[in-house]
Amino acid sequence: MNGADTVFILVSAALVMFMTPGLALFYGGMTRSKNVLGTIMQSFICLGIITLVWILWGYSLSFGKDIGGLIGGLNFIGLKGVGMEPSPDYASTIPHLAFMIFQGMFAIITPALITGAFAERMKFSAFLLFTILWTTIVYSPLCHWVWGGGWMGAMGALDFAGGAVVHMSSGSAALAAALVIGPRRGFGKRSFVPHNLPMTLTGAAILWFGWFGFNAGSALAINGLAANAFVTTHIAAAAAAVSWIFIEWMHHGKPTTLGLASGAVAGLVAITPAAGFVGPLSALVIGFAGGIICFYGIHLKSKFGYDDSLDVVGIHGLGGVWGALATGLFASKMINPDGANGLFFGNPSQLWIQFVSVVATCVFSFVASFVLLKIVDSIIGLRVNDEDEEQGLDLSEHSERAYQL
Amino acid sequence: MNGADTVFILVSAALVMFMTPGLALFYGGMTRSKNVLGTIMQSFICLGIITLVWILWGYSLSFGKDIGGLIGGLNFIGLKGVGMEPSPDYASTIPHLAFMIFQGMFAIITPALITGAFAERMKFSAFLLFTILWTTIVYSPLCHWVWGGGWMGAMGALDFAGGAVVHMSSGSAALAAALVIGPRRGFGKRSFVPHNLPMTLTGAAILWFGWFGFNAGSALAINGLAANAFVTTHIAAAAAAVSWIFIEWMHHGKPTTLGLASGAVAGLVAITPAAGFVGPLSALVIGFAGGIICFYGIHLKSKFGYDDSLDVVGIHGLGGVWGALATGLFASKMINPDGANGLFFGNPSQLWIQFVSVVATCVFSFVASFVLLKIVDSIIGLRVNDEDEEQGLDLSEHSERAYQL
Amino acid sequence: MNGADTVFILVSAALVMFMTPGLALFYGGMTRSKNVLGTIMQSFICLGIITLVWILWGYSLSFGKDIGGLIGGLNFIGLKGVGMEPSPDYASTIPHLAFMIFQGMFAIITPALITGAFAERMKFSAFLLFTILWTTIVYSPLCHWVWGGGWMGAMGALDFAGGAVVHMSSGSAALAAALVIGPRRGFGKRSFVPHNLPMTLTGAAILWFGWFGFNAGSALAINGLAANAFVTTHIAAAAAAVSWIFIEWMHHGKPTTLGLASGAVAGLVAITPAAGFVGPLSALVIGFAGGIICFYGIHLKSKFGYDDSLDVVGIHGLGGVWGALATGLFASKMINPDGANGLFFGNPSQLWIQFVSVVATCVFSFVASFVLLKIVDSIIGLRVNDEDEEQGLDLSEHSERAYQL
Amino acid sequence: MKKVEIITRPFKLDEVKESLTKLGIKGMTVTEVKGFGRQRGHKEVYRGAEYQVDFMPKVKIEVVIEETLLPEVLQAVQEAARTGKVGDGKIFVFPVDDVIRIRTGESGREAI
Amino acid sequence: MKKVEIITRPFKLDEVKESLTKLGIKGMTVTEVKGFGRQRGHKEVYRGAEYQVDFMPKVKIEVVIEETLLPEVLQAVQEAARTGKVGDGKIFVFPVDDVIRIRTGESGREAI
Amino acid sequence: MKKVEIITRPFKLDEVKESLTKLGIKGMTVTEVKGFGRQRGHKEVYRGAEYQVDFMPKVKIEVVIEETLLPEVLQAVQEAARTGKVGDGKIFVFPVDDVIRIRTGESGREAI
Ligand SMILES: Nc1ncnc2c1ncn2[C@@H]1O[C@H](COP(=O)(O)OP(=O)(O)O)[C@@H](O)[C@H]1O
Ligand SMILES: Nc1ncnc2c1ncn2[C@@H]1O[C@H](COP(=O)(O)OP(=O)(O)O)[C@@H](O)[C@H]1O
Ligand SMILES: Nc1ncnc2c1ncn2[C@@H]1O[C@H](COP(=O)(O)OP(=O)(O)O)[C@@H](O)[C@H]1O
């Protein structure tokens, strides 16, 4: 066991944990004030419920003994055999528990990301059921495919910190959710404007801060690669924040703070799969392009008429796809000898591998999520009734009001 | 000196420091908007005033040369002899200064916890005086008893991160305070509803985040035990958040975000004494039960008619008691060979020891706090006058208004 | 490469990164609600734009091969040669990239500090241009002088974590900005009261938290000195918070929460240059005096009639000057053998050196900033027009409103 | 001249505004208010304490018009604001003595 | 019909509401306002700058009633809202021309 | 007695208040409102979606006075509130039937 590695991973795990309430604020600020608590709740409760799912069976399905490259076995169920000693298979210099909890934080935030798609209208009970099922049936297998010894990792797909596992999966699920649950009442007619942008910016700041743990921590040890991932993460966020506000300056005449925050998150998403495979200047390009791609990405919803309320598809879905492909372009063995070279470093086949991983992830998550949502809908109904939606989720689902200033 | 251990403790100290403003937000959001600054102030100023108390005499009374098992000597007064070298007695792999400041952060947050009991009506001057006296006369001895070489530690009482020192002590003081200062004007008649729940949730998030430093840091070195404490902390918080909202769902028809936050804090309190002595599944049970116990605990105040405004007794008091006893049930030498086995691991006597420590802590803190409050009351009066209370502490005690939106 | 040192610096860098949004909240809460987004934007965008400046040329100008003691060469342009290996010149136990990004976070927050001086009236475009120029022409040289092998460091001036580089430089630029841009409409006639003090206090909390990374991280390795810097930082913040509220209690009859926050920041500023050169009790004095000095410092603006909206001159300028001089008084080789003794430890010449560094820094930054502002003014105009100012920057510069509660 | 004061559901504001604009009305003033009426309120729960809240969020729209417009306005507002469920609100009509436009000093009808 | 407008201390809202409900009044509309009057305001201090604030938080309760109820209403409100200290506020009575219930289109007395 | 209702720009509040105080007026009540009028609103943009907002922040100042003071008040308010640009707002004058001071029970003129 290495002390420095262990500190690094525990601190990283704490940072990633902090991202989920950060996300709650990021999303919460963008809703109308009658739905802010309902929105915060959906993120925050993942810290509760997914933690339990993770330790009881999720971790085992993800990292248990490989079964056909598809799913982990049940050997770690209830954390059996996951103790203070390092695991021989994963992160061999830190306590197995530290690896488990670090990974758990990823499992927590991923379904929380999806909530942006169905914000302001989903029943809390249906949300809970969906989220438990989703973590079990979509997240855990995907996580296994990429990091747990499954086929996608074996194929050579590069995903440093969760471009596929976290972002494409949640982005695709978000699209399914937006389609299944349908638009908010008044979508396209009334205006849905953020009720508290300082809250959203605070959330974005916490996300950025926590993402250092997310990406650098994914080196799973403290070394030059971790420092590189830290730096590429920061640069991509910065570049995307800048490119987003410049492009909206062009289009709408003004740069906005919501654009700044959105751009930063887009950049962070885009660099996630690449952070430990590319160098700083590649990160600059990935981030810069990420800001632009996601800026246009969020306009898809008005084109296609689905109501992805807080732009999960546009930012996490598209940003994740771009990041995965960009890894196939910019990856370099000079940065990470355990990785691969991308197209720009002479290895076009990596781009193909990345492309396959993108398609597989998106199709799997979209289809499985779609089915799960339909099932949950038929059991308990996904959506609150019209009157409750009009009154807002805070009162109708939680008997609370956010502000009494 | 060990570098990794030192990073771990300094980062943990920073995290625990961050908890005090986190608490300020947690509490501040629950008050009415005319008292939010007064409430934040009472937490935040502890970072100022208790820091000074701690370095001038508090640390010495807590960790100075033992005097009869009751109190530390004056040898560390003004941090004399507390330097960059490790102390031979405490945390021998990190600079003595690092140990001192880590402990100082606990001394800071403990009196801040009490403020929830007398929120919205206490004079700032009286609060300051009480807090200085309390840290000197209640906290420092208690801290010495448990961690500084005093009788409670010698007896074998297990308190990993402050179930007695921090939570039972503040919970008991809170009960004394609620009784001495009396209920808020209109208690039981008017409605006292939280003015800003997103603020409270933000505070809860910071508390959760910081608690990793609080509990894992209490291993005082980076090792498997620290990882275990990290994991048990997270699990207990998650389990209690879930159990609280489910039980209120049953009772009131809806799960609430304030319930979620309260449950998380209850779980964190409950696991505090146990974090380094029990395994993950025990933490699950401790947390789950903690959420339920504290949920019912907060109803005591309506039963007995005292006005513990923000439920310090119900959450920190009861949660702390449950955690201490639970340590006597679930502790296992397999987790921590330096600890002890609890009842469920074949050692009933540990439960008795824990019980004694609970009674001693609660009685001592309650009685001493009661007396101190009476003294302060007779010198400067504890309570603002009726008109000032009606106007709110922000204006009457601080000449400020929180919001001018 | 040392693992523990690397964790320490990466975590410190993350903490310093977090300070910039912390500053955004600290400042944002103090403005009127129609300008909160504009104010947050000016801090937050530094995370974007200055990151790019820093990696493209700023780092090289600061830490590139020394040219005549005045500026760094272009050898690190675009991070050429800045990789995972430690640099032989700086922080030789951590990846060069880690050192670079840690320093980058300082470069980001420094221009953000200046924004408090011209809050509520500056054009965003002019601000952007000014900030890019300022980082290039003022910050980078100054940073080189002190830490990059330049004349000021060679002269023996002590600046542990940026008293000159960060605080005096931004404070002097702030004075120039307040003079060039002129007072807000209605200054001295209408009342400018903070619109959201809980936001300001949250910001102050994040600043305090992050400052541990700022000051302790400046040890650039984890060791006793880092612990010392951590402790002195905390003590000075505490002492200044206390002294500020006591002095305003005397003057205005009440202690305020804004005073508490302001005092804490003043103490943090004052200890910045000294943190690794002085002991805990010296820190107590430095902080305590810092609170008092800055309390009176903020009244200069009403005396001299300039409108330094959020008191950058009074707090960062004066606090920085006091800290630099105090380092010349309290520095001790017993704390840091690589440092020097100050006046109180028998070496009056150090005070003189510090004095020279103060004068040089302030004059350079003031004059250069003044000229830059005049240039920017003549190119695109510094100030929004009257109507836009009346409407508020949020709408006029960013087409957004902060709150729709 | 008359002042028409419309108290109705917040989300009906835009529709009422439109319907008034269509009648050529160029100005109105809107206030967020809390209404107590036949419409039942809701329950709130904070840490196990239940509170019954009787006040519902409403908007008050005030518009001063020439008397001749009154019937049309009343008609239009009712159409725009009606949902048919309890809580639709009220329209009050008040007499007005005078109106002045501050900018120009005009008064009476021209000032509306 | 008359409109009674009560401007009083915020914490008296519930008592005034109760007293009106007791008289059988089924509807009222409440606005948060700032009042300037004989009651002195307070001082605020921000970074050493002192501001005198003359406006006090008040609530305005508007209730339209049948004229016959007026004396009782005035009586009841005064009893409920009076503390005897400066700042208790005012009651204004205004003439009303008409009332319409949007939901049903009823007007006049039945609409109240 | 008359009620004068002034709807004007928020930053003019202090000046209007001063001008009224100078006339010996001792009380008034202020509400934050949103005004729709000839003054054009502004555009807001959130994630690329543009919204036209027609409502401008205004204040409503209500002051009940003796009829004899009316001309002076109208004069003073116009002077204080006028900027000459669109959006200066309106003054409405309404009849008042009665005024009661809650604290003392006085009514009519003495209660103002
Ligand atoms: N007598 C009244 N005076 C003033 N406002 C009233 C009165 N009656 C009703 N209101 C306002 O009208 C709103 C709607 O009234 P309510 O009785 O709930 O439904 P409806 O108008 O459909 O009968 C109330 O919330 C209140 O704001
Ligand atoms: N002439 C007036 N016009 C409108 N509102 C008034 C007038 N006089 C008083 N008010 C309102 O009544 C409130 C209480 O008045 P004040 O003079 O402070 O106390 P009191 O009513 O006890 O004499 C004021 O804050 C203001 O809102
Ligand atoms: N007929 C009206 N009824 C009620 N309020 C009005 C009316 N006309 C204007 N207002 C109020 O007066 C404000 C200013 O009116 P506007 O037409 O913009 O400018 P001006 O008063 O300079 O002509 C509006 O925002 C609105 O609040």
Give the mean pLDDT of C63-77: 97
Measured from CB, residues less than 6 Å from any atom of ligand 1 are D 7, 35-39, 56, 58, 86-90; E 27-29, 62-64, 101, 103, 112
Token duo for residue E25 = 């009044």
Which of B6, B48, B199 is the closest to C198 by Cβ?
A: B199
CA of D36 relative to ligand 1 center, distance in Å: 6
Helix axes A140-147, A96-114, angle to 10 degrees: 130
Which of E11, E14, E45 is the closest to B399 by Cβ?
A: E45
CA of D72 relative to ligand 1 center, distance in Å: 22
pLDDT band at B21 (very low <50, low <70, confident <90, very high): very high
Contact C5 B1 (CB under 8 A): no
Distance between CA A207 and CA C14 in Å, rounded?
Answer: 12
At residue B29, the pLDDT reads: 98
Distance between CA E68 and CA A65 in Å, rounded?
Answer: 84
Which of E11, E14, E43 is the closest to B399 by Cβ?
A: E43
Side-chain-side CA neighbours of D74 within 13 Å: the count stands at 21
Distance between CA A53 and CA A59 in Å, rounded?
Answer: 8
At residue B371, the pLDDT reads: 98
Of the candidates C396, C402, C286, which has an alpha carbon nearest to the alpha carbon of residue C335? C286
Distance between CA A120 and CA A32 in Å, rounded?
Answer: 8
Within 10 Å of residue B361's Cβ, how many Cβ atoms? 28
Which of A226, A238, A254 is the closest to C398 by Cβ?
A: A254
At residue B188, the pLDDT reads: 86
Contact (Cβ atoms closer than 8 angstroms) between residue C57 and residue C136: yes
Contact C234 B18 (CB under 8 A): no
CA of E33 relative to ligand 2 center, distance in Å: 11
Which ligand does the CA of F55 lie closest to? Answer: 3
Q: Find, in chain B, the residue whose alpha carbon is nearest to that of A94.
A: B224
At residue F112, the pLDDT reads: 86
Position D59, amino acid = V
Give the mean pLDDT of B334-348: 97
Distance between CA A107 and CA A353 in Å, rounded?
Answer: 24
At residue B215, the pLDDT reads: 98
Q: Kindly list the residues from chain E whose CB atom is less than 8 angstroms away from the CB atom of residue D86.
A: 103
Q: Kindly list the residues from chain B whose CB atom is less than 8 angstroms away from the CB atom of residue D46.
A: 193-194, 256, 258
Please give the mean pLDDT across all residues of chain A: 97
CA-closest residue to ligand 1 atom 13? D89
Contact C51 A201 (CB under 8 A): no
**Furthest-apart CA pair in chain A: how many Å?**
60
Of the candidates C275, C247, C278, C267, which has an alpha carbon nearest to the alpha carbon of residue C344? C278
Is the minimum distance from the CB of E56 to ligand 2 under 6 angstroms? Answer: yes
Q: How far is E102 from chain D (nearest CA, A)?
A: 5
Interchain contact E80–F (C-beta under 8 A): no
DSSP 8-state symbol, C182: -
At residue C199, the pLDDT reads: 98
Q: Kindly list the residues from chain E whose CB atom is less than 8 angstroms away from the CB atom of residue C251.
A: 48
Which ligand does the CA of D9 lie closest to? Answer: 1
At residue B302, the pLDDT reads: 86
Strand partners, F46: F49
pLDDT band at A70 (very low <50, low <70, confident <90, very high): very high
Distance between CA A310 and CA B404 in Å, rounded?
Answer: 28
Contact E14 B190 (CB under 8 A): yes
Contact (Cβ atoms closer than 8 angstroms) between residue E103 and residue D85: yes
Distance between CA C167 and CA C313 in Å, rounded?
Answer: 9
Give per-residue pLDDT as tens, B179-189: 999 999 999 88
pLDDT band at A14 (very low <50, low <70, confident <90, very high): very high
Contact C251 E48 (CB under 8 A): yes
Q: How far is E111 from chain B (nearest CA, A)?
A: 32
Q: Find, in chain D, the residue whose alpha carbon is nearest to that of E60.
A: D33
Which ligand does the CA of D6 lie closest to? Answer: 1
CA-closest residue to ligand 1 atom 7? E27
Contact A40 B257 (CB under 8 A): yes
Which ligand does the CA of D10 lie closest to? Answer: 1
Test the F interface: residue of A249, A252, A293, A307 with most F CBs within 10 Å:
A252
> 3-state SS of chain B: helix, strand, coil percent to 5?
70, 0, 25
The minimum-distance atom of ligand 2 relative to the CA of E55 is 25
Contact E93 F96 (CB under 8 A): yes
Q: How far is D80 from chain F (nearest CA, A)?
A: 18
Phi and psi at residue F50, in whole multiples of 5°?
Answer: -95, 135
Question: Chains touching chain B at 3 or more Cβ pairs under 8 angstroms?
Answer: A, C, D, E
Distance between CA C240 and CA A137 in Å, rounded?
Answer: 55
Give the mean pLDDT of B373-387: 97
Q: How far is F73 from chain D (nearest CA, A)?
A: 12
What dihedral do alpha carbons B100, B101, B107, B108 form, nearest 10°?
A: 160
Test the F interface: residue of E69, E90, E97 with most F CBs within 10 Å:
E90
At residue A393, the pLDDT reads: 98
At residue A229, the pLDDT reads: 98
Is the minimum distance from the CB of F35 to ligand 3 under 6 angstroms? Answer: yes
**pLDDT above 90: residue C236:** yes
Contact B14 C209 (CB under 8 A): yes
pTM of the model: 0.98
In chain C, the domains with their CATH numbers are 3-395 (1.10.3430.10)
pLDDT band at E112 (very low <50, low <70, confident <90, very high): confident
At residue A188, the pLDDT reads: 86
**pLDDT above 90: residue D112:** no
Contact E31 D34 (CB under 8 A): yes
Give per-residue pLDDT as tens, D3-38: 999 999 998 999 999 999 999 999 999 999 999 999
Q: Which residues of chain F have pLDDT under 50?
A: none
At residue B190, the pLDDT reads: 87
pLDDT band at D39 (very low <50, low <70, confident <90, very high): confident
Helix axes C348-380, C169-181, angle to 10 degrees: 40
Size of interface B-D (CB pairs under 8 A): 25
Give the mean pLDDT of A323-342: 98
Q: Find, in chain B, the residue whose alpha carbon is nearest to that of C9.
A: B7
At residue A190, the pLDDT reads: 87
Give the mean pLDDT of B18-35: 98
**pLDDT above 90: residue C361:** yes
What dihedral do alpha carbons A333, A337, A338, A339 form, nearest 10°?
A: -10
Distance between CA C199 and CA C201 in Å, rounded?
Answer: 5
Q: How far is B246 from chain E (nearest CA, A)?
A: 33
Position A175, amino acid = L
Is the minimum distance from the CB of F90 to ligand 3 under 6 angstroms? Answer: yes
Strands B66-67 and D98-101: unpaired
**pLDDT above 90: residue C189:** no
| Residue in this structure with the two tokens 């300056």, named with its chain if needed | A249
CA of F90 relative to ligand 3 center, distance in Å: 6
Give per-residue pLDDT as tens, E32-61: 999 999 988 899 999 999 999 999 999 999
Is the minimum distance from the CB of D74 to ligand 3 under 6 angstroms? Answer: no
Q: Can you spell out the DSSP letters for chain D?
A: -EEEEEEE-GGGHHHHHHHHHHTT---EEEEEEEEESSS--EEEEETTEEEEE--EEEEEEEEEE-GGGHHHHHHHHHHHH--SSTT--EEEEEE--EEEETTT--BGGGG-
Contact E102 D81 (CB under 8 A): yes
Give the mean pLDDT of B322-340: 98
At residue A191, the pLDDT reads: 87
Question: Chains touching chain D at 3 or more Cβ pairs under 8 angstroms?
Answer: A, B, E, F
Which ligand does the CA of E9 lie closest to? Answer: 2
Give the mean pLDDT of B350-370: 98
Which of F11, F14, F44 is the closest to C401 by Cβ?
A: F44
Give the Å distances, CA to CA, from B135 to B12, B112, B120. 22, 11, 22
Interchain contact B185–E (C-beta under 8 A): no
Q: How far is E30 from chain C (nearest CA, A)?
A: 18
Distance between CA A157 and CA A350 in Å, rounded?
Answer: 8
Q: Please, where are the H alpha helices in A182-311?
A: 197-216, 224-252, 257-271, 280-297, 300-304
Contact B400 C264 (CB under 8 A): no
Give per-residue pLDDT as tens, C152-186: 999 999 999 999 999 999 999 999 999 999 999 99
Helix axes A224-252, A280-297, angle to 10 degrees: 40
Choice between F39 and B49, residue whose per-residue pLDDT is larger: B49
pLDDT band at C274 (very low <50, low <70, confident <90, very high): very high
Percentage of chain C modeled with pLDDT above 70: 100
Q: Kindly list the residues from chain F whose CB atom is less than 8 angstroms away from the CB atom of residue D95.
A: 94-95
Contact E48 C295 (CB under 8 A): yes
When mean pLDDT is compared across B368-372, C104-108, F82-86, the lowest value belongs to F82-86
Specify the 3-state DSSP secondary structure of E47.
coil
Token duo for residue E110 = 């039945």
Is the minimum distance from the CB of F43 to ligand 3 under 6 angstroms? Answer: no
Specify the 3-state DSSP secondary structure of B30.
helix
Give per-residue pLDDT as tens, A159-180: 999 999 999 999 999 999 999 9
**pLDDT above 90: residue C341:** yes
